[in-house]
Every structure is written in structure tokens, then in C-alpha cells.
């Protein structure tokens, strides 16, 4: 089997986000980076599939600047066989169809049986790339899967629907699947696999940017204004009472 | 008249006695040697390890632990009885050897006798009394084991055999002596020099000379046979501890205390990490199992065992031994059990008290290393998440790394990146950087330093977790990446001295980082502050308060620092009431060994149990020196529902309140 897993490097969501100079996106300084959570489910499912069928080749693909290779190494350590890094320093500002086109451009000649992607990225969250790749390749796409089974070329997935409902969907390969939380628990790479990953093929290719053009523009990026919120009072009991009285006097009219 | 006695009296001199005696002895020795060789073959299943360096020191420890029974003596009661029994048994052994030396060598070959005159009188008296004390001690131990039956004490066939054999040897010894004395010494002044023998002689006197002689001869050979059986079965029974436990004093880990071996991750020929089968352990780990006497001191002190977790350090050692001698190919991790392996807090209470110098913790860590590095397994998903958080953000709490120095923003201290000309680098640690409760401790420490005019720098967002919890949880790879980064950054600033408020950071930077060429002086804050106070640079206005003090495992047992924190408490005006378990007997808070990252899901909560011990002192404050302990106690006072009566605090906070 020939399997492609598309992953994205995203900032850790606990990071201190600042807005970039253009005001169009977050600033990249002082951020910690990791693999997009949903892509981890994609990688894990692909590795499990390989463990099940034995004969499978897993290619992990990531678009972005050089630093995304760090995240790709984790996918390789988890069990992907080879990595394809599509070098693009502007990836962060591209719209979903541009990203999808780059992936489809790479995938079109490779005859992948299954393509796994995350259902969306944690930072941009458009949830469009996977579906668009499928469309560009002319293969079916099944989104937000939380269960996966493969037998004799037949794929059965469980989808998560709004309101908690589930749906079982059958299809055959080739297919593109976007993975949702609950699909699996991604493994922690073992040390021998981390070592092996260092020696795995990690190709960097230049994207074919012809025919790609932005049709959207992010004109502003901002954090919601802080509105109210709770206050937790701390301290010894008498002190707490003092604080509370003070607050009630200052902010409310209940003691007036 | 010459004070002496006829050796081989009534037994017969010359070859008729000596030949069968020595044939039997040789047979016993042959069985003994074969038994030893058999066991050595099993020890050799383990990995190589050199434990023959620092021979002078090793021999000193050996003599101290064997002849002085130093470690055995640490636990009164059974320990005292064992020590006294040992000394008596050892004296009797020397006495018997002297008899052999005279009868079968000096007298036989050269006609020289030395067991005579005043020397003989005291020789006789001492052996007589030591025999009596030995019987009393053995009797006491027998009562303890079979009647009192202390909880957790495992009694097996070996124990019955040992008690029975030794007691019979001692009693028959007195019977032989009594029979001989009844015939040869009764009524002579010499009889008084064998008081116990004399009593026996008087009891046996009614048998008449012929009866006494027959009894003596029979018992003499029986006693000899038992003594030889004793020698022969040493390697096959718990008697082997005479050899193995003693040898282990020589072979003991010579520190630094609790330091783990650093795996060479650069070595690409290593394909397996940690221990999943016996042959992954070192030979000493197998030998340890043979040195164990099942005295259960470790189990009695294990915080996991005491709170209903499945871990007993003694059981782990026994299982390793059993596997080695019955099924060496078995999967050790499955056999010992994952819940057992994950339960250890690496508090070192087991190792510290062990009279047999067994290293429990490193074996458990080796099995953890196997689970983490080879299987990607953790005690729970929360631990895996903490590991991943540490990889991404350099702290197990999952806080954004860039905000690590935020707590210090308003305190007027700089990061080394801003100004590296400082007196000390304060290595803050993850909890004091991100956890609200522990930030208060960090702020107190800064306040104290500033009051003493010490210029402090921090690493801010350049600081990462020291790697201690990850390492103790078995993640050597993550630990080493964190360690190497930290070493490089700190060395880059040319720092001379580091102070920590976390004993885990202290222990790691001061001991573990030595393997990465990190020679910088590291001090825990309690020691550093005590020095500032005694140098007069830090003034504390003592103000009376009542408290109890918890020795963190990593300042206490791991680093033997018990007095500096107590001196600080005293300086602050503290009226310290000790908990029953203090200093080297202190009960862990539950958070060591990386357990700070894990949920405690089995049994009673360790921290609550420790808090209850603190409550018993009646003190109003529970002082500690460790962010993990403080976190656990803040949680523990809620769990024990004593929030109103007991306030956990760090010593630095107490001092800062009294500037």
C-alpha cells in the first residue's frame, strides 16, 4: 500500500501570541512549535494500518519553512517511512486551495491508496485542505473520522456528526480521510525509532507555484477584547471578607 | 595445676578421629564450593560492572558493616539481636578455630599448646558466655518470627532450618561441654570459668561416668556433623547472606548517592535500552537478590507500600532473584508488573536503610527505561502529555516557554541574556516559574537575596526543565536533550555558582550533569541562605512560631542535608516539633521519581498520609524546602481537611516574612 500523510507544524496553543507587523497573522517569535494535533491522529492511524497490513509505504508531507523538518522527524519517529518537505516560507499566508494544490501536485503521480490528513489545523482552522486535495485528485474524501477499519481493500470509517451522532461509511481506495479527535491515541516514539528516523529519507522539494494565486486576503488579525471574566479571591478568611466587601462596594450597588 | 583441658577428650586422639573428621570437612567444603560456583554462574548472566575501585574505602565499609554491624544496628530490636548474635557467633567461630589450630596443627606437629593458664581461663569464660548470649538472641529472634510475627515478615523453610540448626549446634555445644565437665572438671577451680557449662554439668551429673562418656561421644560427632552441614548448606540457603550480604558492603555503590547511570546515546551499537529481561541488568543486580535477607526494612519504609500500592522493594528484589535462578529468560517487566514499576517515588528510603547495600531504585528505573524508551509506555496518558509538553515548551506543565521568566518581571532582576555579571544564577525550576503557589517561594527567595545584597540572575525563557522527573520516569532521551541544552547555555554565560529552590534541580545539576562536563558549583537555597546568615550578610528578625519540618527526599536521603534547613527554622524563631518520621526516616510527599507528573490512582494518597503525620505534631505550619513537596502538601491539607489548622510553607517564605 502507498499511503500519504499530510501534516502541518503549528504553534503550541499555550504560547504567548503576538500580532505580526503586517497585522495579518501571529508573529512567529517566541513560539513553541509542534505537530498539529489532528495530524498526529492521521500519522498514528497510518502507522497502525502499516502494522496491520505489513506491506505499506508511508510518506509524510509537510509544507513550510525549514523548521518544519523538526516536526516531520516526529512523524518519521512514529513510524512514517519517508518525508517530503515542500519548502515554502510563505506557507503561513497561503489560502487552503494553494496548499491543497501543492499537495495534489506532489501526489498526482504517486498513486496513493489512502491519504490521511488532520480534519483542520489548530492555528488557521479552515478545514478545507484535505477535502480540496481529494477534489483535485478526483478521489473521495471522508471528513472527521473517529474510527477506521481496513480489510481487503475495503475501508470502513466512523464519522463524527454534529450533536454527537456517528455515521459508518464504507468506501474503497483510493480515498482521502481527515482525522478527528477520538480516532486514536498517538504513540510516543520509542528511542530506537527516534534514532532510525534520523536516517530516514527526508526530501526537500520546491513547490510548483505556477497557477497559484491568492484569491483571499486576511486584512486584520486581532484578539477578542477582554470583557469581564471571573475573579478568584485568595487569602485568609478575614482578608477574603475584606476584599469581597471592597469589591462589592466598588463594582456593584448591593451594599449601597 | 595447669588450667587447660584435653582436646579430643573421650573422642580419641590421632587418625581414628582426625581422618573421618577431615574427610567429612572436605566433603562439606566441596559441597559449599560447588554451591557457590553454581550461584556465581547465575550472577554472570548480568551485564558487566566494575565494583572494585576505591578498594581501601570499600574494605572499610565492609569491616564496618560486618564486624561492627553498623547498618544492622540502625534498627533496634531485631537489629540489636542480630548484631549481638553475630558477635557471639563470630567469637565462637574464632574460639573453635583456635582449638583446631592447637589440636590439629601446633600441638600435633610441633607439640605447642597455647590454650592454657590464664589465657585458657578467659578463653573458656568468653566462649561460655557468648554461647549463652547467642542462644538468648536466637531465642528472641525465634519468638519474634514465629510468635510475634511482625507484619510483612516472610517466613520460609530456610528460616526454620537456620533457627533449628544454629540452636541445635549451640545447645549440643553446651551439652558436650557439660558432659565433659561433669567427668573432668566438677569440683575443680577451673569449673567456675565455664559457668554455663557448670550448670549443665550439674544437671547431667546423675548419668554416671559411663553414661556421660557415651552421651559426650555421641553428641560430639553429632555437633561436628551439624557444623559441617551448616558449612555445606550456606550457598543453598539464606545462610548465604553471611557471604553475599558481607560482600555487598564491599560491592556497594559508592555514589554519588542515588545517581543513575547515564546511557551513552551516541553509541549507535546500542539497540536496546533499559531492562526487560534479566540479562539486561548488571551482575550486581542479580547478586543483590542473593544478598537480600528479607528483613523487610525497605518495605516498612516504602511510601508506596505503606499506602496500598502494589510495590514492595523487597518483593522486587526477590522476584529478580527468583527469575535469575528459575527462569532467566522470562520477561522481567511482566513479572514484576507495570503498576509496581511505576509506583516508585525514588525516595531512597529502601536503599538508605538496607543492611545488605542493595540498590533497589536503579533496577526499577532500568525497567522504566525499557517501558518508556522501547515501548513508549507511561503510567498514564497524563504522563505522556507532560513528556510531550516538556519537549515542546521545556516544562511538564505545558506553559508557554516564553513566559517562563514573567514571574520576575517586577522584581528588578535580569536574565543572563540581559546581564550575565551576577553573583549567582538562580535556577528557578518549572514549578517556581509557572505554578502560582511556588512563584511565591521564588519571590521570597529573591527578596532574601536582595536583602543580603546578592546580585541574582535568571535564565528566563532560556531556562528549561532540568529533566529530573523525566529521567526518573525512565525517559533518558528527553532528560539528556534537556540536560545538554541547559549545560551549554549555563556554561556559555561563564556562571560560577548556581542556587536552586528545588532539590530535584539541585540534585540533577550537582550530580547528574557531571556526566556532561558541568563543573559549576550548585547549592540548594537552604544551604545558601544559611551561609548568608552565618556570614552576617542576611539579617533575620526572629519571631516565634510553631512548625514541623518535612525533609524532602532529595535534600535529605539523596544529599544528606538535614541540619541547614533546621538551623534556618531556628534562626527564624521556629519552635520545631519533629514528626515521628524525620531526617533519614522521612516519609516521601509522593511526588518524586517523576510521580509529580502522574495521577495517584491506587491506594491511599501518600501526601495526605504525610500531612496527617504533620498534623499529629500539633504545629501550625508544615515547612519544607521543595516545590514538589509544597504542591503535594497544599493538596494534602485539602485532602486531609486540615486547611484551617496546618499551613504548608517553604522555609524561604518564613525567612522573607522576617526581614
pLDDT in tens, B289-314: 999 999 999 999 999 999 999 999 99
On whether any CB of chain A is under 8 Å from the CB of B50, the answer is no
Phi, psi of B618, deg, nearest 5: 80, 5
Residue B1 has pLDDT above 70, yes or no: no
Tens of pLDDT, residue by residue over B609-642, are 999 999 999 999 999 999 999 999 999 999 999 9
Report if residue B386 sits inside a domain: no
Report if residue A129 sits inside a domain: yes
The b-or-e profile of B581-592 (16+ CB within 10 A means b, else e) is bbebbbbbbbbb
3-state SS, one letter per residue, for B293-313: CCCCHHHHHCHHHHCCCCCCH
Report if residue B368 sits inside a domain: yes
B386 CB contacts (<8 Å, ≥6 apart)? B396, B397, B398, B469, B597
How far apart CA B278 and CA B275 sit, in angstroms, is 7
Q: Are B492 and B425 found together in one domain?
A: yes
Tens of pLDDT, residue by residue over B110-147, are 999 999 999 999 999 999 999 999 999 999 999 999 99
Report if residue B258 sits inside a domain: no
Q: What DSSP string describes B110-142? A: H----SBHHHHHHHHHHHHHHHHHHHHHHHHHH
Report if residue A14 sits inside a domain: yes
B492 CB contacts (<8 Å, ≥6 apart)? none
Report if residue B267 sits inside a domain: no
Residue A19 has pLDDT above 80, yes or no: yes
Q: What CATH number does the domain containing A33 carry?
A: 3.40.50.620
Q: How many domains does chain A have?
A: 1
How far apart CA B55 and CA B64 sit, in angstroms, is 14
**Exposed/middle/buried for B423, CB within 10 Å: 0-12, 13-18, 19+?**
middle
Distance in angstroms between the alpha carbons of the first and the last residue of chain B = 82
- What pLDDT, on the 0 to 100 scale, is given for residue B175? 97
Select from A135, A96, A142, A93 the least CA-distant residue to A116: A142
Q: Are B404 and B424 found together in one domain?
A: yes
Residue A210 has pLDDT above 90, yes or no: no
Among B500, B534, B568, where does a domain finish? B534
- Quote ipTM for the complex: 0.90
Write the CA distances from B146 to B157, B159, B401, integer angstroms: 12, 10, 60
How far apart CA B269 and CA B292 sit, in angstroms, is 34
* A253 — pLDDT class (breaks 50, 70, 90): confident
Q: Are B55 and B175 found together in one domain?
A: yes
Report if residue B260 sits inside a domain: no
Q: Are B500 and B605 found together in one domain?
A: no
Report if residue B338 sits inside a domain: yes
On whether any CB of chain A is under 8 Å from the CB of B543, the answer is no
Domain range for A68 is 2-205
Q: What CATH number does the domain containing B101 carry?
A: 1.20.950
Q: Are B354 and B400 found together in one domain?
A: no
- What pLDDT, on the 0 to 100 scale, is given for residue A225? 84
Residues in chain B: 659
> Which whole number is the average pLDDT over B441-447?
98
Question: Backbone dihedral region of A198: left (phi > 0), alpha (psi from -120 to 50 degrees) or beta?
Answer: alpha
Q: Cα dihedral angle (B39, B40, B43, B47), rounded to 10 degrees?
A: -160
Domain range for B309 is 278-375
Q: Are B521 and B550 found together in one domain?
A: no
- In chain A, which residue's Cα lies nearest the Cα of B394? A32
* A252 — pLDDT class (breaks 50, 70, 90): confident
Tens of pLDDT, residue by residue over A107-148, are 999 999 999 999 999 999 999 999 999 999 999 999 999 999
Residue B376 has pLDDT above 90, yes or no: yes
Report if residue B390 sits inside a domain: no
How far apart CA B510 and CA B493 sit, in angstroms, is 17
* A256 — pLDDT class (breaks 50, 70, 90): low
Segment B48-52 long-range contacts (CB within 8 Å, at least 24 positions apart):
B48/B282, B48/B283, B49/B282, B49/B283, B49/B284, B51/B250, B51/B251, B51/B252, B51/B253, B51/B284
On whether any CB of chain A is under 8 Å from the CB of B554, the answer is no
Residue B257 has pLDDT above 90, yes or no: yes
- In chain A, which residue's Cα lies nearest the Cα of B272? A192
- What pLDDT, on the 0 to 100 scale, is given for residue A250? 84
Report if residue A121 sits inside a domain: yes
Q: Are B579 and B644 found together in one domain?
A: yes
Q: What DSSP string describes A200-219? A: S-EEEE----TT--------
How far apart CA A17 and CA A14 sit, in angstroms, is 9
Tens of pLDDT, residue by residue over B484-539, are 999 999 999 999 999 999 999 999 999 999 999 999 999 999 999 999 999 999 99
Q: Would you state the cell numbers that stand for residue B545, as one nine-digit string?
A: 512560631
How far apart CA B271 and CA B112 sit, in angstroms, is 66
Q: Are B527 and B579 found together in one domain?
A: no
Among B249, B266, B292, where does a domain finish? B249
Q: Are B179 and B229 found together in one domain?
A: yes
Contact B401 A195 (CB under 8 A): no
Report if residue A243 sits inside a domain: no
Contacts of A194 in chain B (CB under 8 A): 477
Contact B403 A16 (CB under 8 A): yes
Report if residue A230 sits inside a domain: no
Mean pLDDT rounded to a whole number for chain B: 97
| Nearest CA distance, B254 vs chain A (angstrom) | 30
Q: Would you state the cell numbers that stand for residue A56, as one nine-digit string?
A: 505499506
How far apart CA A98 and CA A126 sit, in angstroms, is 13
Q: Are B136 and B73 found together in one domain?
A: yes
Which single residue is written with the C-alpha cell 501570541?
A17
Q: How many domains does chain B have?
A: 4
Q: Would you state the cell numbers that stand for residue B618, as one nine-digit string?
A: 500539633
Residue A214 has pLDDT above 80, yes or no: no
Report if residue A102 sits inside a domain: yes
Select from B433, A134, A151, A152 the least CA-distant residue to A143: A134
Among B509, B534, B559, where does a domain finish? B534
Q: Are B60 and B133 found together in one domain?
A: yes
How far apart CA A198 and CA A7 sit, in angstroms, is 18
Contacts of B403 in chain A (CB under 8 A): 16
Helices (H), B408-475: 430-434, 436-451, 468-472
Nearest residue, CB atoms, B399 vs list A14, A30, A192? A14
Q: What CATH number does the domain containing B426 carry?
A: 3.40.50.1860
Choose from B264, B373, B378, B478 for mutation: most chain A CBs within 10 A: B373
Q: Are B180 and B72 found together in one domain?
A: yes
Amino acid at each position: 500500500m502507498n499511503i500519504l500523510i499530510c501534516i502541518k507544524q503549528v504553534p503550541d496553543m499555550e504560547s504567548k501570541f503576538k500580532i505580526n507587523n503586517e497585522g495579518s497573522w501571529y508573529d512567529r517569535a517566541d513560539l513553541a512549535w509542534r505537530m498539529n494535533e489532528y495530524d498526529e491522529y492521521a500519522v498514528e492511524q497510518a502507522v497502525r494500518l502499516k502494522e496491520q497490513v505489513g506491506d505499506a509505504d508511508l510518506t509524510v508531507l509537510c509544507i513550510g519553512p525549514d523548521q518544519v523538518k523538526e516536526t516531520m522527524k516526529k512523524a518519521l519517529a512514529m513510524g512514517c517511512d519517508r518525508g517530503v518537505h515542500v519548502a515554502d516560507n510563505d506557507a503561513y499566508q497561503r489560502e487552503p486551495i494553494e496548499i491543497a494544490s501543492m499537495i495534489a501536485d506532489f501526489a498526482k503521480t504517486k498513486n496513493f491508496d489512502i491519504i490521511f490528513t488532520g480534519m483542520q489545523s489548530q492555528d488557521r482552522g479552515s478545514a478545507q485542505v484535505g477535502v480540496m486535495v481529494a477534489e483535485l485528485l478526483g478521489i473521495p474524501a471522508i471528513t472527521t473520522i473517529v474510527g477506521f477499519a481496513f480489510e481487503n481493500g475495503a475501508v470502513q470509517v466512523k464519522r463524527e456528526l454534529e450533536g454527537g451522532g456517528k455515521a459508518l461509511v464504507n468506501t474503497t481506495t483510493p480515498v482521502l480521510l481527515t482525522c478527528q479527535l477520538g480516532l486514536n491515541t498517538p504513540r510516543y516514539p520509542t528511542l530506537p525509532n527516534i534514532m532510525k528516523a534520523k536516517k530516514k529519507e527526508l526530501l526537500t522539494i520546491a513547490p510548483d507555484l505556477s497557477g497559484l494565486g491568492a484569491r483571499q486576503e486576511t486584512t486584520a488579525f486581532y484578539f477578542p477584547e477582554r470583557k469581564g471574566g471571573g475573579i478568584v479571591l485568595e487569602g485568609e478568611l478575614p482578608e477574603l471578607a475584606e476584599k469581597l466587601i471592597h469589591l462589592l462596594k466598588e463594582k456593584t450597588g448591593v451594599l449601597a | 595445676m595447669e588450667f587447660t583441658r584435653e582436646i579430643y577428650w573421650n573422642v580419641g586422639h590421632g587418625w581414628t578421629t582426625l581422618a573421618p573428621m577431615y574427610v567429612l570437612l572436605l566433603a562439606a567444603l566441596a559441597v559449599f564450593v560447588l554451591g557457590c560456583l553454581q550461584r556465581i554462574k547465575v550472577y554472570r548472566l548480568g551485564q558487566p560492572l566494575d565494583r572494585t575501585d576505591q578498594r581501601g574505602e570499600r574494605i572499610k565499609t565492609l569491616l564496618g558493616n560486618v564486624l561492627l554491624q553498623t547498618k544492622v544496628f540502625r534498627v533496634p530490636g531485631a537489629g540489636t539481636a542480630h548484631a549481638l548474635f553475630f558477635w557471639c557467633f563470630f567469637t565462637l567461630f574464632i574460639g573453635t578455630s583456635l582449638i583446631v589450630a592447637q589440636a590439629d596443627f601446633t600441638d600435633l606437629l610441633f607439640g605447642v599448646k597455647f590454650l592454657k593458664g590464664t589465657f585458657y581461663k578467659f578463653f573458656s569464660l568468653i566462649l561460655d558466655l557468648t554461647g549463652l548470649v547467642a542462644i538468648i538472641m536466637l531465642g528472641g529472634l525465634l519468638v519474634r518470627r514465629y510468635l510475634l510475627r511482625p507484619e510483612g515478615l516472610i517466613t520460609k523453610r530456610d528460616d526454620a532450618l537456620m533457627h533449628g540448626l544454629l540452636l541445635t549446634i549451640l545447645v549440643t555445644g553446651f551439652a558436650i561441654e557439660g558432659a565433659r565437665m561433669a567427668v573432668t572438671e566438677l569440683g575443680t577451680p577451673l569449673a567456675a570459668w565455664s559457668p554455663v557449662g557448670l550448670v549443665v554439668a550439674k544437671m547431667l551429673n546423675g548419668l554416671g561416668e559411663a553414661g556421660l562418656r557415651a552421651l559426650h561421644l555421641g553428641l560430639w560427632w553429632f555437633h561436628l556433623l551439624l557444623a559441617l552441614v551448616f558449612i555445606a548448606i550456606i550457598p543453598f540457603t539464606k545462610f548465604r547472606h553471611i557471604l553475599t550480604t558481607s560482600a555487598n558492603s564491599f560491592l556497594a555503590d559508592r555514589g554519588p548517592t542515588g545517581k543513575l547511570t547515564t546511557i551513552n546515546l551516541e553509541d549507535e551499537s546500542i539497540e536496546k535500552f533499559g531492562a526487560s529481561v534479566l540479562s539486561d541488568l548488571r551482575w550486581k543486580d542479580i547478586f543483590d537478590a542473593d544478598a537480600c535477607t528479607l528483613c523487610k526494612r525497605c518495605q516498612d519504609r516504602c511510601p508506596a507500600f505503606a499506602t496500598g500500592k502494589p510495590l514492595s522493594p523487597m518483593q522486587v528484589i526477590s522476584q529478580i532473584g527468583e527469575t535469575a535462578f528459575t527462569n532467566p529468560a522470562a520477561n522481567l517487566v511482566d513479572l514484576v508488573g507495570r503498576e509496581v514499576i511505576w509506583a516508585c517515588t525514588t525516595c531512597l528510603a529502601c536503599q538508605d536503610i538496607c543492611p545488605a547495600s542493595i540498590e533497589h531504585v536503579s533496577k526499577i528505573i532500568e525497567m522504566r527505561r525499557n517501558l518508556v524508551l522501547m515501548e513508549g509506555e507511561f503510567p498514564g496518558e497524563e504522563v505522556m502529555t507532560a513528556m510531550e509538553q516538556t519537549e515542546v515548551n521545556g516544562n511538564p506543565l505545558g506553559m508557554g516557554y516564553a513566559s517562563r521568566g514573567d514571574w520576575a518581571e517586577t522584581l528588578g532582576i535580569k536574565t543572563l541574556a540581559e546581564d550575565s555579571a551576577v553573583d549567582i544564577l538562580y535556577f528557578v525550576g518549572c514549578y517556581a516559574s509557572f505554578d502560582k503557589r511556588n512563584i511565591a517561594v521564588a519571590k521570597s527567595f529573591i527578596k532574601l537575596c536582595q536583602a543580603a545584597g546578592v546580585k541574582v540572575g535568571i535564565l528566563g525563557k532560556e531556562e528549561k526543565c532540568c529533566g529530573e522527573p523525566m529521567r526518573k520516569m525512565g525517559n533518558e532521551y528527553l532528560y539528556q536533550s534537556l540536560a545538554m541544552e541547559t549545560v551549554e547555555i549555563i556554561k556559555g554565560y561563564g556562571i560560577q555558582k548556581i542556587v536552586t529552590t528545588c532539590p530535584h534541580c539541585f540534585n540533577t545539576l550537582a550530580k547528574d550533569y557531571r556526566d556532561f562536563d558541568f563543573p559549576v558549583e550548585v547549592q540548594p537555597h537552604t544551604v545558601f541562605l544559611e551561609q548568608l546568615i552565618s556570614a552576617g550578610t542576611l539579617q533575620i528578625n526572629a519571631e516565634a512560631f510553631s512548625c514541623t519540618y518535612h525533609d524532602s527526599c532529595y535534600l535529605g536521603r539523596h544529599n544528606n542535608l538535614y541540619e541547614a534547613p533546621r538551623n534556618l527554622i531556628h534562626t527564624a524563631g521556629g519552635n520545631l516539633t519533629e514528626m515521628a518520621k524525620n531526617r533519614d526516616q522521612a516519609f516521601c510527599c509522593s511526588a518524586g521519581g517523576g510521580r509529580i507528573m502522574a495521577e495517584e490512582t491506587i491506594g491511599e494518597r501518600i501526601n495526605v498520609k504525610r500531612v496527617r503525620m504533620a498534623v499529629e505534631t500539633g504545629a501550625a505550619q508544615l515547612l519544607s524546602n521543595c516545590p514538589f513537596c509544597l504542591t503535594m502538601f497544599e493538596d494534602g491539607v485539602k485532602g486531609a481537611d486540615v486547611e484551617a489548622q496546618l499551613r504548608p510553607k517553604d522555609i524561604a517564605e518564613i525567612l522573607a516574612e522576617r526581614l
